[in-house]
């Protein structure tokens, strides 16, 4: 089943993704978009790898996620992917990559994203563009998903 998990930071999305993907047929893959740009991210990536504990083949791809899709996969996470595009000056490519990703979605996938637009409107133009693009990307992914869950305080709420 194609599932989109969304919610706030540290709301239990990654843990829920592992729960859902445990039922996928083997081999299972984990598409990681994060890059270890500082000690905190290195530690976070290390904790996530330990949580997966060899149950998934890890594919690291920070930008071209459409080319890294596999069957039985977790894609974690859309906000970091967009951050990487913005940081690398490739912001204009997000729609094409997302279109190709949606067209090639495997039957069994869990996509992790964040709801960042539920707070204040950012003061700077780049942050406002980022929030707008993330909202549009989330809407496209939700439309393509069979199931959408919103994680609130570690509890999955069915949206679709």
pLDDT at 122: 84
pLDDT at 74: 97
Cα–Cα distance measured from residue 36 to residue 42, given in angstroms and rounded to the nearest whole number: 5
Give the residues of the chain that fall short of pLDDT 70: none
Q: Which residues contact 76 (CB under 8 A, 6 or more apart)?
A: 13, 14, 17, 30, 31, 32, 33, 34, 48, 112
Catalytic positions, written as ranges = 48
| Domains within the chain, CATH numbers bracketed | 2-158 (3.40.50.300)
* Phi, psi angles (nearest 5°) of residue 158: -75, 125
pLDDT at 120: 80
pLDDT at 48: 80
Strand ranges inside 37-154, DSSP E: 57-60, 73-76, 109-112, 147-152
* Phi, psi angles (nearest 5°) of residue 121: -80, 125
Nearest to 133 by CA among 95, 77, 87: 95
Q: What is the pTM of this model?
A: 0.93
């Amino acid at each position: 089943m194609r599932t989109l998990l969304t919610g706030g930071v540290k709301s239990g999305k990654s843990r829920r993704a592992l729960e859902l993907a445990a039922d996928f047929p083997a081999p299972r893959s984990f598409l990681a978009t994060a890059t270890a740009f500082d000690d905190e991210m290195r530690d976070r990536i290390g904790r996530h790898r330990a949580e997966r504990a060899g149950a998934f083949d890890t594919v690291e791809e920070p930008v071209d996620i459409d080319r890294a899709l596999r069957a039985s996969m977790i894609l974690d996470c859309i906000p970091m992917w967009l951050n990487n595009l913005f940081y690398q000056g490739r912001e204009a490519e997000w729609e094409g990559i997302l279109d190709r990703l949606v067209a090639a979605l495997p039957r069994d996938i869990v996509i992790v994203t964040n709801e960042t637009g539920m707070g204040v409107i950012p003061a700077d133009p780049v942050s406002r563009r980022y929030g707008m693009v993330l909202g549009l990307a989330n809407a496209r992914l939700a439309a393509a998903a069979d199931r959408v869950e919103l994680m609130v305080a570690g509890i999955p709420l069915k949206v679709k």
